[in-house]
Structure 1
Amino acid sequence: MTRFALTLEFDGRPFMGLQRQSHGPSVQQSVEDAAFALTGQATIMHAAGRTDAGVHALGMKAHIDIEKPFTPFQFMEGMNARLRPHPIAVVACEIVPDDWHARFACIGRAYVYRIVNRRAPLTLERGKAWQVAKPLDEVAMHRAAQSLIGLHDFTTFRSAHCQSGSPIKTLDRLDVRREGETVLIEAEARSFLHHQVRSMVGCLALVGMGRWKEHQMAEALEARDRQVLGLNAPPDGLYFVNAVYPAN
């Protein structure tokens, strides 16, 4: 048995999420079906994170165990051939030790959220970014974001359906910057609560539009109350970009 670590890129729009679902297509099901078509072996894919319906990935880490002999290049090429026409690609593949686990060995996860800040409708990026027509003050958004850095109770920014045992998380990074008409929010932590990034982004957008004062981000955090959440951003602009593992 060989354990392959895969780096996946996918467009989340056609899927109900990454994890296999009983009520619709998922990234996990598509990858497992491709592996079965390639090897004739039923197997289970384990991923570094779980993404909601409509959320995308540029560098989702996953692993899968295969009995038949393949080189990493052969397995990647075979998987990509059988993943078509699904908008999923294996962009990197390597053999890892049998005790390496994409989820449990992961010590850091990174997301980026993309807001296109313009009045004209989205065409090429529809479904791949959140369009906000009102001008955004990304500098104010960045300042407000810094109040969320560190160890906190993130109940306000946690979905009511979150299955995590505790709302307490350590947020390592939350930066806001602009590239032309695109505002990028970059978040890093060991792990995140369900909807945490989208909830933080939604409230930061309120700051950027001038509907919230900067200090209201800290006040919302301290409230520990989902009812005070100002806005939950749509999934369109959210991308899982990187999973971090110990060097060894």
Structure 2
Amino acid sequence: MRAKAIISYDGSRFHGFQSQKHTSKTVIGTLQKALKKTGIETKITGSGRTDRGVHATGQVIHFDLPPFWNDTQKLQSYLNRYLFPSILFKKIEIVSDDFHARYSAKRRAYRYIFSMDTPNPFSAQYITFLENFDYEKCKNAVKLFEGRHNFEYFKKEGSGVTNFERTIYKACIYRYKNYYILYFEADGFLRSQVRMMADFLFKIGRGDLTLKELAEQLSCKHQYSSTLAPPYGLYLCRVFY
């Protein structure tokens, strides 16, 4: 039986989502170890990778269950006891055998949380702290990302992807209490694309870059910025199927 699971995790505790040769301290590596203890040794596939330090509140994975695991609630309870507090299984359900966490996904959504409060060490791994940020400038700029664009100038090298066009269905910024949240929903994202977009918006908010320069980089006329926003404030929040 194929199982689909929605999980959340604290990215600050891992060296990224995907398995790596030189460390088992990845989300996949930790999940694989937990499943092995239950007699499940099948491959885990995620909807997408997240960088080191990036969090998730709605990551989706799939794996195949052996016949003796027909109680998904019991499995979920066991895994959550073992993985606490770094990973939480929010839901496990049986799906059709052709379901694929990555290739069946239609859209993905990320939130980036930041604040202009005085930085403190207790939230430094979960929120990005900024100074001298103009909310109204960012509010106007973020909408330029919506639509179909070639994001070749908004990606980190090394992904191996050759098609750089993506459609962003929704891009916005809003306030919640003392926090500012950037929200991006698209049919897919390139490697570190969200962090690069967020960093460009932060520079516009500080007055270092302009709307005109953002439009030119989106049109692949000139690359004004290639740096990344810190990973700490970024959350993969939902995958749509």
Q: Same fold (TM over 0.5)?
A: yes
Secondary structure of the residue aligned to 2:101 is coil
Residue 112 of structure 2 is aligned to residue 116 of structure 1:
no
Percent pairwise identity: 29
TM-superposed CA distance for 1:5, in Å, is 0.9
* Closer/same/farther in 2, CA of residues 15 and 80 from structure 1, 3 Å limit: same
Note the aligned Cα RMSD (angstroms).
1.5
Code of the residue aligned with 2:215 in structure 1: it is: A
For normalisation by structure 1, the TM-score amounts to: 0.91
TM-superposed CA distance for 1:224, in Å, is 5.3
* Closer/same/farther in 2, CA of residues 224 and 58 from structure 1, 3 Å limit: farther
Separation (CA, whole Å) in 2 of partners of 1:190 and 1:210 = 30
Aligned to 2:88: 89
**Deviations 1:22-48 (CA, angstroms, capped at 9, x unpaired):** 122110111111111012x32211111
Cα contact 2:69–2:75 (8 A) shared by 1:
no
Cα contact 1:38–1:82 (8 A) shared by 2:
no
**Deviations 1:45-100 (CA, angstroms, capped at 9, x unpaired):** 11111101000000101111110223221111121122245x01101111111111
Runs of 4+ in 1 over 4 A off after TM superposition: none
Separation (CA, whole Å) in 1 of partners of 2:224 and 2:154 = 9
* Closer/same/farther in 2, CA of residues 54 and 123 from structure 1, 3 Å limit: same
Specify which of 222, 228, 232 is matched with residue 228 of structure 2: 232
Separation (CA, whole Å) in 1 of partners of 2:135 and 2:160 = 32
Aligned to 2:42: 43
- Size of the aligned set, in residue pairs, is 239
Aligned to 1:129: 127
Q: Give the unaligned 5+ runs of structure 2.
A: none
Q: Give the unaligned 5+ runs of structure 1.
A: none
**1:91-240 paired onto structure 2 within 5 Å:** 91-118=90-117, 120-134=118-132, 136-223=133-220, 227-229=223-225, 231-240=227-236
Separation (CA, whole Å) in 1 of partners of 2:113 and 2:204 = 16
